[in-house]
Amino acid sequence: MKKSLIVQKFGGTSMGSIENIHIVAEHIIRAKNDGNRVVVVVSAMSGETNRLMGLAQQVDCVPNARELDVLLSAGEQVSMALLAMTLSKLGHSARSLTGGQANIITDGQHNDATIKHIDTSKIEQLLDDEQIIIVAGFQGINENGDITTLGRGGSDTSAVALAGALKADECQIFTDVDGVYSCDPRVVKSAQRLDVVDFPSMEEMARKGAKVLHLPSVQTAWQKQVPLRVLSTFNVNQGSLIKGEECQQAVCGVAIQRGLTLVSVIPESVEAIRKHCMMLGVSVWDVVNESSLLLKEDCLAKLQQVCEDKLLGYQCVSLLTVVGTAAEQLAEHTSQLLAPQDIDVVHVSMAKQSMSLVMLPDCIDKAANILHDAYITTAEAMDFHPKKAFLG
């Protein structure tokens, strides 16, 4: 029987010190001793990317893009070497590979490259030699052999892309939380870790502000049919497994996105502004209606420079999104829950299996607790079925 192949990804906090790297090595050795072939993707040690970026910005506030990639990619080179050394010290054969050595080929978009292709033959050969493979996350090379980086958070993308290319049995994202929660546990104390989440729900939660996984990683894993598992480096449990095509639960989670701006514009200029945004590389979060749209707060300044004349006003807002098969039918009931608590919903928008509420930032924690209690905590206790309970 062919051994299972597992890709494990460890982020900056997991790789943040020699002690932590030792803990990482123990996770890897456990997977190897369980009879798996193991490929590991690592981020730079926490703080290192910022340190390097700080050096670059002492040189130039907008550093040369090609050279910034050369600079930043050194961060993962350090952490992967330290991990391979640690495994070696513990008696296991390990081999580190840069993005280039792992044949991760990207387009030429420095600082924000996209993986085009991974030639896995070298990795597979090393796996056949019983090696543990450590690959630098966040980096690749373009067709000229120049170093490229995938942008921040790119190590998850590297891991998922490698898992897809290697047809891995599971891609494990180790992080500092121990799974996917029904809401941010710092906001909602009763938030629960989800044992299993289906891909469409996870995608919608990631899109609407859940920070545990980057949206493109979820999308790639879904597309490549690689089961994703989110686990904690520092807390041994099964984490959350993301798999499956169909949205499974009436309400599985409540996502929070802060730091948005609701921009009011001259009526009928929305389309023109949307085009400006595309040219500026500013992503429009949502078009609310013909005279207002939702942007990330930090994109506003850019937009103001270009089309101040079309902007009438702006307001800081946050977005609360309820995800699940029942979400689209909860608008009225939600409004009944929030209105008596003096929570004004500025705008409601529906997507497939989700409902998003735009509100003032200082209401969002309270609103998240009210909706999470009603649709998840209480509902579970009551064997909740929203249609029956609230709509029927």
The contact set with its own copies (CB under 8 A) reads 18, 21, 52, 55-56, 58-60, 63-64, 66-68, 70-71, 73-75, 77-78, 80-82, 84-86, 88-89, 94-96, 98, 100-101, 145-146
- In the chain, the amino acid numbered 158 is S
Nearest distance from C-beta of residue 110 to its own copies, angstroms: 12
Considering beta carbons, is residue 74 or 307 the nearer one to its own copies?
A: 74
Nearest distance from C-beta of residue 164 to its own copies, angstroms: 24
Name the residue among 193, 200, 198 with its Cα closest to residue 235. Answer: 193
Nearest distance from C-beta of residue 63 to its own copies, angstroms: 5
* Distance in angstroms (rounded) separating the CA atoms of residues 317 and 176: 28
Considering beta carbons, is residue 66 or 211 the nearer one to its own copies?
A: 66
Contact status, residue 231 vs residue 14, Cβ threshold 8 Å: no
Nearest distance from C-beta of residue 87 to its own copies, angstroms: 9
Nearest distance from C-beta of residue 345 to its own copies, angstroms: 48
Mapping DSSP to helix (H, G, I), strand (E, B) and coil, where does residue 290 land? coil
Considering beta carbons, is residue 53 or 351 the nearer one to its own copies?
A: 53
Considering beta carbons, is residue 44 or 367 the nearer one to its own copies?
A: 44
Considering beta carbons, is residue 102 or 166 the nearer one to its own copies?
A: 102
Considering beta carbons, is residue 83 or 168 the nearer one to its own copies?
A: 83
Nearest distance from C-beta of residue 74 to its own copies, angstroms: 4
* Distance in angstroms (rounded) separating the CA atoms of residues 37 and 104: 20
Side-chain-side CA neighbours of residue 295 (13 Å): 28
Backbone angles phi, psi at 174, to 5 degrees: -85, 135
The residue ranges of DSSP E strands in 211-342, in sequence order, are 228-232, 235-242, 253-265, 284-289, 292-296, 311-323
* Distance in angstroms (rounded) separating the CA atoms of residues 386 and 19: 48
Considering beta carbons, is residue 94 or 188 the nearer one to its own copies?
A: 94
Nearest distance from C-beta of residue 46 to its own copies, angstroms: 14
* Distance in angstroms (rounded) separating the CA atoms of residues 225 and 247: 15
Contact status, residue 378 vs residue 320, Cβ threshold 8 Å: no
Q: How many helices (H) does the chain have, and how many strands (E)? A: 13, 18
